Amino acid sequence: MSDHTGHTSSTIFLDVILPLAIAKTYTYRVPAEWNAEVAVGKRVVVQFGKNKIYSALISTIHHSAPVHYEAKYILNILDSSPIISPVQLEFWKWVSAYYMCNLGEVMNAALPTALKLTSETSIILNKETEIDKNELTDKEYLIVEALEMQSRIMMSDVSKILEQKTVYPIIRNLLEKKIVWVEEELEERYKPRKAVFIKLNEEYNDAGSLKILFEELERSPKQVDLLQKFIQLRKSNIDIEKKILLEESGIGASVLTTLIKKEIFYSYEKNVSRLKIDESDLLETFELSTSQQQAYDMIDASDKISLLHGVTSSGKTQVYIRQIESVIQQGKQALFLLPEIALTTQIINRLRKYFGTDIGVYHSKFNDNERVEVWNKALDGTYKVILGTRSSVFLPFKNLGLIVIDEEHEGSYKQYDPAPRYNARDSAIFLSTLYSSKVILGSATPSMESYFNAKGGKYQLVELKERFGGIQLPEIMISDLKEEIKRKKIESNFSSIMIARITEALENKEQIILFQNRRGYAPLLMCNTCGYTSKCVNCDVSLTYHKLSHDMHCHYCGYHQKMIKICPACGGSHLEMKGFGTEKIEDDLLSIFPSARIARMDLDSTRAKNAYINLLADLEDKKIDILVGTQMVAKGLDFDNVSMIGIINADTLLNYPDFRSYERSFQLMEQVSGRAGRRSKQGKVIIQTYQPEHYIIRSVIQHNYDLMYQTELAERKQFHYPPFYRLIKIDVKHKDQNTVQNAARALARELKQELPLRILGPEFPMISRIRNYYINTITVKIGKGEISAQKVKDILRKKIELINGQKEFKSAIIVCDVDPV
DNA sequence: AGCACGCCGACT
DNA sequence: GTCGGCGTGCTC
């Protein structure tokens, strides 16, 4: 049998995934001598396009020769065994379909950079051509001159030399004149770290000959010392590194060189790991409390995904640890997902105590080479547990038995740019179906969608309502500001009870955290005469006065201007500051508690390098009595000595403008409250509000998650908000954003009858807040020049119809339900 | 993502 | 007249 190309049908063809944003896979041909080596999941080197060379991943192997074109040969096979499994590949395909992106984009997100190779074009001088420099243009002359200096220039450097973007036409001319050659270079980026090791000549392996050797060396005491040290080290190590031998013995390298010359020692090179292994042989044990054990048993018994809803300090981690131990015993791997790197150091130290060297860490702060090593150790099964941030869902697990997603509500599980705009939590849930692995979603403040799934019976709801080790939940009290004002008890922004509690804590030498969700000094400046308020020129948002810089800032776009003294509208001078931010609170505190040490933690005070870390250290070292902060204080501040939390104005949290989401308000309030009283005694929380009857505040006091959840659920359903629908963000590229926005809003109004269409186009303050939901961004370009609202509407409508036509999308912009699988 | 091709404005 | 800007389409 043979096809039209004349090749027998036994020729192997490969469909490969290129690490590019391209919709298709491409077919290449395998030279017969490599037939035995191809396998799905291995990387191959291919030429793609005129001269670029890439590393691509084999996705399918077949024998059908392409009909309409001649397939190119693969240039090389990079791996001796597959770097990803067929299961992983299936996962990639799901991510690509669900998040509406190309497989190449998934590949880019999944593979560590060092495993993806792209050739670099460089140019070199053609020595066989005589160059008449007078015939060269100025730009050509510059290139030739540069080549005479350094013989080889990268294409990217050519742009720099010429100070312009497009350089190909010029290079092409030089190529035609045969003045230069072009070369493509592909470099293997991962380089194993090598170290030199020392070995004793086998002749001296028995005690007798060793004794003779020592006698022979008697006159060279340093050599004897070195040999002795070597033999001592050999007792505990198989391989002895040269560097360590020299360091430990304190003897110079020349002595060792002599011994190698005498053929007493051999030196050899070996690959070593870059990953630090701190072997803490401190294997700690603990007992689960009754409620923890109950939670553990529930998770164990059910086939469903478990949502572990545990209040702050309820000891969710212990439950995870026991579950991880259990899957390791079954010979399987576990994945422990965390939202941020900052949290990994704390948890890794904790987990190392139980899992020692079985645990690997994976996050973006690792360099390329280190990531490849973690990758390989997950692949070969060295690591039984992987602790990592969102990209670790792509690691090549062998047999994944458990996925723990801690702080599952966290927005940082979502990648919003570039594609794939995936949510690691949702993706991990799909991944679990491929491996039939158990899933635990853990949070003190579960996300709406997970809670919905749990209440609806899709997940199993496991609750831990007690704090671990007998620590009591904080006492939460409300301070009704209306009452306080009526009774004239209020002092600047502090109610009498707040002041009393702060005083009490200060007297007890305990620390206090005060939460005010506005930065700056005053969020509004208003003219008392005419009612004018200062607004941002771009954003239609009021400007916040910052005392420190004495400027008025827009917190959306960063616009700022000098403070005004006279009203620009009426010329009056009765400008009044309305509202208050963290700067004002800090000021007021200083006057009420002059001897207290007060610090502020917000975006402004932590901008400087290390400022945040220094603040944390000061708090830890008890150099701060009162910390005033924005929502930054809601996360990760676990200090035993903080006994009291004050929420200065809870009303600024209600109706948090995140999709009218009460979820966020509740989470913030709950998280801040959770900081109070950790070990020794019960914490105190004071919530100041003008609306003490508000159900969020009520539910926080009663630790009643359901109350908040029910209301939020109803609200979201009514307004078609996420996460009940999948969102696609549409970016409309045009200078006239006003017309675009108006057209988008108008279209949304029109289509609302037939579609649950809610958000459209570039309404940027809103868009910036939905990035935790949208699954893709579609860019619509409208040509230059004048546009009309009608034109924009037509273009958008077409686009929506197009998206609508795609398989599982039943409606346009806002589609699908909470269930990612 | 590159890179070629092709169409237009502003320069020798 | 062409150089080089950018929009469009193809790459196995």
| Per-residue confidence (pLDDT) for residue A1, from 0 to 100 | 42
Tens of pLDDT, residue by residue over A37-88, are: 999 999 999 999 988 999 999 999 999 999 999 999 999 999 999 999 999 9
Cβ of A28 near strand C (distance < 7 A) = yes
A66 touches strand C (CB under 7 A): yes
CA dist A286 → A350, A353, A463, A559, A617 (Å): 12, 11, 20, 54, 29
Of all nucleotides, the one whose C1′ comes closest to residue A66's CA is C12
Is the C-beta atom of A781 closer than 7 angstroms to strand C? yes
| Contact between residue A519 and residue A654 where contact means Cβ atoms under 8 Å apart | no
Tell me the CA–C1' distance in angstroms for A137 and C5. 20
Question: What 3-state DSSP class applies to A646?
Answer: strand
Task: Quickly give A785 CA vs C8 C1' distance in Å.
Answer: 19
| Total number of residues shown for chain A | 821
Half-sphere exposure of A284 (CA within 13 A, CB side): 12
Q: Is the CB of A156 under 7 A from strand B?
A: no
Give the strands of the sheet with A551-553, arranged side by side: A544-546, A551-553, A560-562
Residues 333-392 of A with CB under 7 A from strand B: none
Closest residue, by C-alpha, to the C1' of C6:
A166
Q: Is the CB of A155 under 7 A from strand B?
A: yes
Tokens of A69: 């074109």
SS3 A286: coil
The tokens for A787 are 């546009």
Q: Give the pLDDT confidence score for residue A769 in this predicted structure.
A: 62
Euclidean distance between the first and the last CA atom of chain A, given in angstroms as a whole number: 44
A505 closest CA partner among A619, A634, A642, A630 = A642
Q: Which of residues 145-204 of A touch strand C (CB under 7 A)?
A: 164-166, 169-170
Sheet holding A642-647, edge to edge: A475-480, A684-689, A642-647, A511-515, A626-629, A598-601
**Nucleotide at minimal C1' distance from the A182 CA:** B3
> Stated in angstroms, how far is A621 CA from B10 C1'?
67
> Which nucleotide has the least CA–C1' distance to A54?
B1
Structure tokens, A411: 């927005």
Any strand B atom closer than 7 Å to A121 CB = yes
Q: Measuring from the CA of residue A26 to each C1', which nucleotide is nearest? A: C12
Query: Looking at residue A752, what is its pLDDT?
Result: 67
This prediction has a pTM of 0.87
- Is the CB of A175 within 7 Å of strand B? no
Is A780 near strand C, with its CB below 7 A from some atom of it? no
Query: What pLDDT is stored for residue A124 in this prediction?
Result: 86
Tokens of A764: 């940027």
What is the 8-class DSSP label of residue A366?
Answer: S
Predicted pLDDT at A804? 66
Residue A441 pairs in a beta bridge with A307, A405
CA at A168, C1' at B4: how many angstroms apart?
10
* Nearest-nucleotide field for A168 (CA, C1'): B3
Q: Which nucleotides of C are covered by protein (CB under 7 A)?
A: 4-8, 10-12
Residues of chain A with pLDDT under 50: 1-7, 759, 763-764, 808-821
List the beta bridge partners of residue A438.
A402
Q: How far apart are CA A196 and CA A149, in angstroms?
A: 37
- Residues linked to residue A334 through DSSP beta bridges, in sequence order: A385, A402
Q: Alpha carbon of A555 to those of A84, A347, A514, A518, A560: distances in Å?
A: 45, 34, 21, 10, 9
